[in-house]
Structure 1
């Protein structure tokens, strides 16, 4: 069955994935017909359908959907009493905790705008996010509160600070979240069972998620309720399409047990994973901090059926020396996004776990999922991120943005659809540059094949130009990943007097494996053109530094080569 035939069957009248055309900000846009219009409507439907299902597992805490819903409605009333109104920004700075989705839905139910701040940020970075967004209230966990506390007097506009799980006594005027809704063990007995009345529609602003860019100040992408809720069906569509293409009847979504290791402050965590998980009444298992051994223990204990997030997590599970000691037979799917995955990883997930690999492409500015790639399609096109979902469109444009390129040519990827955010918060110049007639210029270099499958070649700024020859870093990185000893790799450009740049690689080897610099250079040169072979390779003991969405922070890697040169001198 072709992609077009599968899409016609899945999106027709009466189907789960039925679509319709609506006008959004002056552009006719294809949308999912069967998603809830707003987050409070979604929450009400969830508690009615899955009230007794376990929702969050965190250490010894177990929270049902009804517990979560009552806590969210109770907190919404408290925030309403504090004066939170439609359009007010409420910042949320916390690690993955049971309180996170409580705060998220409480604010959204009032028409407020949730501003999830990166929990890895320094105090100064948190100050930037609070100041840039104009947040009225800050809700933070203990560690983030301690980090930002010395800077709070310098931040205008913050009227109230609320802290959950504080590390010590709170300053005067700061409220503990427990004082408002109590500990999670008592959420099921809270009095409220509905949100305060609020005038909210699908195109109202819901979140400001900051881009996790590797250079400059992050920009706040403003997503509407419809933008974010579009993800509820986008992930499931790829699974249903895969079943049809193999000749099977798609099964209705059923509850899963998901080990969530991606931060909820990132679009993948709160939108692409959390939303679809809730839509199926799934159980979400949280970790205090990523640890491969701890993940194996949780997969066995909770009978986890799905995990992933970014490729490096899948690699660490696969390469763990004690993996055979744990019962991982419950795993049905390992999915990821945020960074390209080596084709070898796709094959290993299937061969070593018998699990279905899954991937996709999206970005903060697309509220998560734009393409989905699963099952046999992924195995057969392991270097692709899949075709766009029916409510999205992709095109490849020339560098100057004036000409659409033919099928198969590499250019800048542009995306359009119901998931594309309305713009950046208070950044008119960036909006004019990045958002063109409803399309987002992604900054990714990509190509599309005849069937519409998308292949990400590189970030435009990461492409290396050696003496006029373009080197796409992902191409070389994938070859390095194919080497049996390599478990993490990144290609960067080093300055060269006459060539402009030369390729160099940073590599992390799998536990117990060895490889020399010359061996890896030969490995690449036997498989790619000579000019693409790294001129230097540095080995590191740990996996490579990544930002919140799994992208390697390449700007930090060049120093390794200069440090090596200084040591040698």
Structure 2
């Protein structure tokens, strides 16, 4: 009942003849781990590399050992005052202890992972919203910069207890740093009983995690996941029949990202699979790429998950090992350029399988199949999740659209989140869909169509988020910084196509009539005042007026079209057969680049240049 055949789109109907509640899924992520330790106590669960260069010196844990360490850490959190409704902040690069600490936080209370790349002010706001008074964080030997941020937050009164993590494989006894009025200890020295959890175990309805996600305001939102959300989505991913119980999975995405937790922690645990984790820098470790194919061969890796930019780099790395074990390479988070797909697949012989999901639907909602490619699609809806397109009427009502018609994509089912944290009361967190939840359906903010087989075809993004290499950037962060400049009267930040990151932020501004400020000066201003380094725009362009719709609302699609045109223009400079003009238009909510070539000419160079870009383009010819 737990593992139906699921390696072809036609399997979906048969799977759903069995009600989800009859599948016998664990009730919580804690039950999931207890089950795994009971079924496969001596099987290796985790193998964690210190870093890309030292991949032959890992630290490994069996499922029984993982459960014991989770018990020890969960009891330490319980002794620190963490209860069922309390959040535990986790801010650290990946390491062996962070994996068990994240699971332990869900046993004792609610995990609240934090991206340490956010500004100190944003982190402080996330701590305030979550109510977390206990933080698991990198010690000074693991990451000095993160430790400095955590220490400053604790010294300012935002945190009462700091539990520090050491580098993978390091168990050197040392005294923790001292902060007046704050309890500070190393997590491995603060642990309690390893045989069981002393507190109240979670149920499926309890909150498991609070993941921050970008939104339409400057501060990230906190999306609340229940244990049922996480277990069911993990099961949908693990049900992939292409992988068996002996398959080994590679993990390198940061644990503040839902993909890392759901795809590479919980899903493999359901099958008793082994996961090999990269070091603290993950896919940002330059040395990892030079050793990557050797790592695949040595650990017999069968599956991995990454963003398009990772596969773009791997397509340039000589295959110097036997990688025949690698069968599933999942890709998501941003548009997959055709050139990246073609380059990776021709280089390795392994197909890239696109997926689709978002934090508010836990993680994954659609998957692709190596047995039945569907070009142009990001995958078929997953079992027990429903996906449709709707048109939002002027009065706010949703009008369902027929198969194949483009509209706003909406998702329902057991993976749809409980809501955003908007406060606390006597009963715990107060959650609100903030307009994203309508009668149990989630408004994804994405535009697309759904074909009769349940495959999703994205055509654009209704929301304004800029997704840089899988990292969400709120344009308001950039716009607020530019508007603080005395000469700027208006600002709009949009996504510009980028070969390496999928998208990068660029900004357009209007300035006062008497202003003598240059675009370079505004770019320097942005670099100094944007609170998140990844959000610093790559360019600032001064224009006469920001575009608006007929009813006076900002029209960013026009700016995205201009940004795409500029990138495409640069890409085809000097390519034989191209006319001087490159245009970009908006068609059905999608930006399309139009390039003209001379009739009868060789367009090979044009196509090669444009295929490298994550843009939709069309080639025309002169008469």
Deviations 1:309-330 (CA, angstroms, capped at 9, x unpaired) = 111111110123xx23444343
Among 288, 307, 310, the alignment partner of 1:294 is 288
Q: CA deviation at 1:121?
A: 2.0
Aligned in 2, Cα 1:129/1:493: closer, same or farther, shift over 3 Å? Answer: closer
Q: Cα offset for 1:50? A: 2.5
In the other structure, the counterpart of 1:10 is 15
| CA apart distance, 1:3 | 7.3
Q: Indicate the residue corresponding to 1:384 in structure 2.
A: 377
Q: 1:369 aligns with which of 354, 364, 368?
A: 364
The residue aligned with 1:333 is 328
How many residues were matched structurally? 476
CA distance in 2, matches of 1:421, 1:520: 51
C-alpha distance in 1, partners of 2:76/2:321? 45
Q: Tell whether the 8 Å contact from 2:268 to 2:274 is kept in structure 1 after alignment.
A: yes
- Alignment of 1:274 onto 2:275: no
Q: 1:161 matched to which residue of 2?
A: 162
Two-structure CA RMSD over aligned residues (Å): 3.7
| 1:176 matches 2:234 | no
Distance 2:289 2:216 in 1: 28
User: Match for residue 208 of structure 1?
Assistant: 210
Contact 2:215/2:465 (CA < 8 Å) preserved in 1? no
- Taking the aligned partners of 2:319 and 2:566, their CA distance within structure 1 comes to 22
How many angstroms apart in 1 are the aligned matches of 2:201 and 2:501?
48
**Aligned partners of 1:136, 1:170: CA distance in 2, in Å?**
18
Instruction: Establish whether residue 410 from structure 1 lines up as the match of residue 406 from structure 2.
Output: yes
Larger radius of gyration: 2
Return the alpha-carbon distance in structure 2 between the equivalents of residues 271 and 534 of structure 1.
40
How far is 1:462 from its partner? 4.7
Q: Does 1:517 align with 2:573?
A: yes
Q: Which residue of 1 aligns with 2:219?
A: 217
Paired residue secondary structure (2:336): coil
Q: Is the 8 A contact 2:309 2:502 kept in 1?
A: no
What is aligned with 1:533? Answer: 593
Deviation at 1:178, TM superposition (A): 2.7
Aligned counterpart for 1:140 among listed residues 137, 140, 145:
137
Name the residue aligned to 2:101: 103
How does 1:31-110 map onto structure 2 within 5 Å?
A: 33-54=23-44, 55-59=46-50, 60=57, 61-110=59-108
* Secondary structure of 1:445 counterpart: strand
How far apart, in 1, do the equivalents of 2:323 and 2:39 lie? Answer: 29
Post-superposition shift, 1:41? 1.1
Q: Write the mapping of 1:144-543 to structure 2, written as runs, cut at 5 A.
A: 144-156=146-158, 158-165=159-166, 170-172=177-179, 173-181=183-191, 192-213=194-215, 216-237=218-239, 239-240=240-241, 253-280=244-271, 281-289=273-281, 290-301=284-295, 302-320=299-317, 323-378=318-373, 381-400=374-393, 401-402=396-397, 403-426=399-422, 431-462=433-464, 489-490=502-503, 497=545, 501-502=558-559, 503-505=561-563, 515-517=571-573, 519=575, 522=578, 532-533=592-593
For the structure 1 residues 331 and 528, does the alpha-carbon distance in structure 2 shift closer, same or farther, using more than 3 Å as the test? farther
Q: Take 1:498 and 1:161, find their aligned partners in 2: how far apart are those partners?
A: 47
**Cα separation, partners in 2 of 1:81 and 1:404, compared to 1, 3 Å:** same
Deviation, structure 1 residue 194: 2.3
Distance 1:385 1:227, change over 3 A: same
Secondary structure at the residue paired with 2:379?
A: coil
CA shift, 1:114, in A, is 0.8
Q: Compared with structure 1, are the counterparts of its residues 284 and 277 closer, same or farther at alpha carbon in structure 2 (3 Å cutoff)?
A: farther
Q: Deviations over 1:426-450 (max 9, x none)?
A: 1679624111111111111111123
Contact 1:292 1:317 in 2 (8 A): no
SS at match of 1:46: helix
Judging changes above 3 Å, is the alpha-carbon distance between structure 1 residues 498 and 155 closer, same or farther for their aligned structure 2 residues?
Answer: closer
Shift of 1:354: 2.3
Q: SS at the partner of 2:365?
A: strand
Distance 1:524 1:449, change over 3 A: farther
Tell me by how many angstroms 1:212 deviates: 3.7
TM-score, length of structure 1 as denominator length: 0.74
Query: What's 2:529 paired with?
Result: none
Output the CA distance in 2 between the equivalents of 1:109 and 1:498: 50
Distance 1:47 1:527 in 2: 59
Unaligned runs of 5+ in 2: 1-5, 51-56, 168-173, 424-429, 467-493, 509-542, 549-557, 596-613, 615-623
Task: Deviation per CA, 1:31-57: give whole Å up to 9, x if none.
Answer: 672320012211111112232222132
Shift, 1:231, TM fit: 2.0
Provide the rounded CA distance (Å) in 2 between the counterparts of 1:89 and 1:205.
9
Q: Could you say what secondary structure the match of 2:254 adopts?
A: coil
CA distance in structure 2 between the partners assigned to 1:346 and 1:260 by the alignment: 20
* Stretch of structure 1 that moved more, 389-398 or 163-172: 163-172
Deviation at 1:232, TM superposition (A): 2.3
- Alignment partners' CA distance in 1, 2:199 and 2:547: 64
CA deviations 1:318-371 (Å, max 9, x no partner) are 123xx2344434322211211121244344444332223222111111110111
Change (3 A) 1:47 1:295: farther
Q: Take 2:580 and 2:82, find their aligned partners in 1: how far apart are those partners?
A: 57
Q: Greater share of helix residues, 1 or 2?
A: 1
**What are the Cα deviations for residues 222-263 of structure 1, in whole angstroms up to 9, with x where unaligned?**
1000001112221244x34xxxxxxxxxx6732333221211
CA distance, structure 2, for counterparts of residue 521 and residue 124 of structure 1: 52
Q: Which residue of 1 aligns with 2:491?
A: none
Q: Helix, strand or coil: the match of 2:368?
A: strand
